[in-house]
Structure 1
Amino acid sequence: MKPAILVLTSTYPRWANDPDPGFVHELCRRLAPDYEVHVLAPHCRGAQRRETMDAVHVHRFRYFLTSGQQLAYDGGMLTKLQLRPWLALLLPLFFCAQLFSAWRLSRRYRVALVHAHWVIPQGLVAWLLGLLRPAPLVVTSHGADVYGLRGGLASYLKGRVYTAASAVTVVSRAMAEAVGAQVAADKLQVAPMGVDLQQRFVASAPLAGREGLVFVGRLVEKKGVDVLLRAYAHLARQRALPGLSIVGDGPLRPELEGMARDLGLAQSVTFAGAVPNAQLPQLLNRHAIAVVPSVVAASGDQEGLGLVTVEAMGCGCAVIASDLPAIRDVVRDGRNGLLFAPADAGALAVAIERLIDDDALRCELARQGGEGARRDFDWSGAARRYRELFATLL
């Protein structure tokens, strides 16, 4: 009989072709051959309360009336709370409902290990659950919980979770440095999520002859799409440019669409909206250059790693990205991509023009990027790291 593990998360596919990030499910389904995997995620309108996805047992907890369950999904909890502070009134209900549901599942399935994605709130729930039903606890931070949640109370709560955890994983070396003062060295591992670089995110179109720039991601402050629009507008005033596709949705979309119109880019910039994950490889293969213009948000939030960079590399795009600490785990300037100073539209414009004018360099960076991504970030290695970690704790 396979040992049961309980995965706590606030982001999980709600239905087939959900455009929200699916990396938690991708890890779970790769662990399912070795473990009986139960996922506890928030419910929302249109999602089933219980279902089995790729041999993963998914349970969704209600925390309010269906129409009012607006804390999770479609941009993430932290972004939603910043834009709509009144949603904080739902936090006690969310927390208690998740804890109660986790306790019931832990009893019912005799859970042998708990894996909490994000230190707050899931890690906090898992810590309290461990007081009721002790089990090894693995906590994984993806970035927003480390960078975006600051202050005395948040630091105290995160410290309690780190102390209770059997192991803490982060998705980049930069994050390991950020939490190193609070987490014992023998508990801390860098273990990024992966990308399917063998079958899905592969270069199916020739590198030479591609045109067009693409951004993929949520339209929130830390993604820096405004920087990209300013850089593109600067170049458009001087020369002909290939089109730019903005792929994704989020609370800043109306503002960014208005900015594009004001800059005279309505005919050359396309806002494609959210695209199902299954369609992303085809979309990326239609473009020559992927731009990752991330910035540090006013709240302090920033990229934990940025898997879209890896996905773009796998599909043969040359990558231009902000020189942020976590992104350096993926992009090495001049070797497998180009880096520019965060929030510097002028520097981004120079990098874009360089790749537009030098097709040989673009193709070489794309080739090196694809090789490095397959070596370092394929799901085969990512899942193996978590499988081995769980085995040491059981």
Structure 2
Amino acid sequence: MKVLVIVTAFPRSERDVISPWLWITLRELSRHGVDIEVLSAAFKGLGDTEMWGLKVRRWRYGPPFLEILSYDVAIPEQLKRNPLYYAVVPLFLSGGFLKALSLAKSQSYDLLHVNWPIPLSLLSLPFGDTPKIMTFHHSGLTLAEKFPFLRKIYRGILEGADAVTVNSGFTRRKLLRIFPGLRRVETIPWPPGWETESLPEVEPEEKRILFVGRLVEVKGVEYLLRAHKLLRKKFPDVKLAVVGDGPLRPRLEKLTDELGLRDSVVFTGWKTGEDIVSEYLRASLVVVPSIVDEKGLTESLGVVAIEAMAFGRPVVASDVGGLPDVVTPDAGILVPQKDPEALASAIEKILSDRKLARELSEGARRRFREHFSKEAVAARYHKLYQEVVGEKA
């Protein structure tokens, strides 16, 4: 089976950090015997190449200095930062369409797999009746919400897709509110963005809580700090590591001082590689206290919760967005958002009960292996590929 995967951006080298969950999944699919090719936008003149055994074809859309639209930040964020890039969008799409037209004439594919269908489903048109799967990421629905005319442009293309996939039930519900006529929508998450085969099984430190993420309103760190204040009454030696950075860091550090928590809370900034692995290994549990912010934004899936489960760490998370799809009773505890008392109670329950902590740890590893590992995700996509191609045969 030969599959063309269409994406807005793909790693520029094997050392690049963008979209690691994507290439990890595609490489695993190739191990299932799927012949994968990738069609992606160029970056500053970068041409076709091969990485991880995958042939990568890139479309050019202007002088090299313009070819940054879909790299380093998502396209909606790029447009927000610099509205002048709206003028580049037609070049971006026309360059992609011409490359797709060329491939449709010179190559034969059994299946197209289009990521970020708004706007990239347009690139599927030159391939005619070739079976098509469209994969929505939550951020990709932002444009459809912001610009209603896009719904009219893309509705027919999307309704003609043989299948649509999303990363969570939350994203699925949002998608079907915007495009209610889609005929087959399946929920398939993505794996963590790093290899998990050789993760060591290490006993955690006692009473060490971990948060990982951007320090922005939607992450709900304020409520975790207030919960930590309550926990100190029962566990004077409890520690909290806040791994990440963002615009709210000064305010959150000030709140930490006001709550008298400076001796038990550490703000580490961002960590990667072995450093972030070490943080997960040291943690007794991981907290994802996300909220629905004033703009209605929240977690579409909960990648940090999935990463925690890969290490066998129990998770305490808010019952919002896609987190209920990830954190089930065998792997952690869900609590109402913006509720420090509920957060503190759930954390206390795990820290106070070694048997429960061990059961949740084992359940987290099992759930990760069965639902969120690269093997599990690739197997589900492989099955969908076979079904879609078989239905069109």
| Counterparts in 2 of 1:256 and 1:331: CA distance versus 1, 3 Å | same
| Counterparts in 2 of 1:38 and 1:132: CA distance versus 1, 3 Å | closer
1:342 matched residue in structure 2: 337
Which residue, out of 7, 10, 20, partners 2:5? 7
Root-mean-square deviation (Å): 3.4
Partner SS state of residue 25, structure 1 = helix
Which residue, out of 99, 104, 109, partners 2:107? 109
Q: Contact between 1:260 and 1:269, CA under 8 Å: does it hold in 2?
A: no
2:164 matched residue in structure 1: 168
1:269 matched residue in structure 2: 266
Q: Contact between 1:355 and 1:361, CA under 8 Å: does it hold in 2?
A: yes
Q: CA deviation at 1:373?
A: 2.0
Distance (Å, rounded) in 2 between the aligned partners of 1:226 and 1:32: 43
Deviations 1:274-332 (A, max 9, x none): 524x7654442232222223333444443332233222112021211120242111212
> Which structure 2 residue ranges, 5 or more long, are not aligned?
none
Give the AA of the match of 2:368. A
2:39 matched residue in structure 1: 40
Query: What number of residue pairs does the alignment pair up?
Result: 380
2:369 matched residue in structure 1: 374
Q: CA deviation at 1:203?
A: 5.0
Partner SS state of residue 150, structure 1 = helix
Q: Contact between 2:209 and 2:239, CA under 8 Å: does it hold in 1?
A: yes
Deviations 1:123-176 (A, max 9, x none): 3x33xx325644211001122223674152243345233212121112223333
Q: Contact between 2:100 and 2:126, CA under 8 Å: does it hold in 1?
A: no
2:202 matched residue in structure 1: 205
1:71 matched residue in structure 2: 69
Deviations 1:21-71 (A, max 9, x none): 4121122112224233121233346x9533322211123344455455443
Q: Contact between 1:44 and 1:69, CA under 8 Å: does it hold in 2?
A: yes
**Residue 244 (structure 2) pairs with residue 260 (structure 1):** no
Deviations 1:340-369 (A, max 9, x none): 223444543443444444444333322222
| Counterparts in 2 of 1:299 and 1:94: CA distance versus 1, 3 Å | farther
1:194 matched residue in structure 2: 191
2:20 matched residue in structure 1: 22
2:119 matched residue in structure 1: 121
| Counterparts in 2 of 1:338 and 1:57: CA distance versus 1, 3 Å | same
Alignment map for 1:300-315 (pairs within 5 Å): 300-315=296-311
> Which structure 1 residue ranges, 5 or more long, are not aligned?
none
| Counterparts in 2 of 1:134 and 1:41: CA distance versus 1, 3 Å | same
Give the AA of the match of 2:366. E
| Counterparts in 2 of 1:168 and 1:234: CA distance versus 1, 3 Å | same
Partner SS state of residue 384, structure 2 = helix
| Counterparts in 2 of 1:145 and 1:390: CA distance versus 1, 3 Å | same
Q: Contact between 1:284 and 1:312, CA under 8 Å: does it hold in 2?
A: yes
Partner SS state of residue 310, structure 1 = helix
Alignment map for 1:120-269 (pairs within 5 Å): 120-123=118-121, 125-126=122-123, 129-131=124-126, 133-146=128-141, 149-151=144-146, 152-180=148-176, 182=179, 186-195=183-192, 199-200=196-197, 202-207=199-204, 209-218=205-214, 222-229=218-225, 231-232=227-228, 239-247=236-244, 253=246, 255-263=247-255, 264=257, 268-269=265-266
| Counterparts in 2 of 1:186 and 1:286: CA distance versus 1, 3 Å | same
Give the AA of the match of 2:91. L
**Residue 286 (structure 2) pairs with residue 287 (structure 1):** no
| Counterparts in 2 of 1:393 and 1:336: CA distance versus 1, 3 Å | closer
Q: Which has the larger radius of gyration?
A: 2
Distance (Å, rounded) in 1 between the aligned partners of 2:137 and 2:248: 26
Distance (Å, rounded) in 2 between the aligned partners of 1:318 and 1:391: 35
| Counterparts in 2 of 1:78 and 1:303: CA distance versus 1, 3 Å | farther
Q: Contact between 1:6 and 1:39, CA under 8 Å: does it hold in 2?
A: yes
TM-score by length of 2: 0.81
Identity %: 26
2:320 matched residue in structure 1: 324
Q: Contact between 1:163 and 1:183, CA under 8 Å: does it hold in 2?
A: no
| Bigger mean CA deviation after superposition, 255-264 or 216-225 | 216-225
Distance (Å, rounded) in 2 between the aligned partners of 1:148 and 1:237: 46
| Bigger mean CA deviation after superposition, 360-369 or 11-20 | 11-20
1:56 matched residue in structure 2: 54
Which residue, out of 79, 85, 88, partners 2:86? 88
Distance (Å, rounded) in 2 between the aligned partners of 1:289 and 1:199: 18
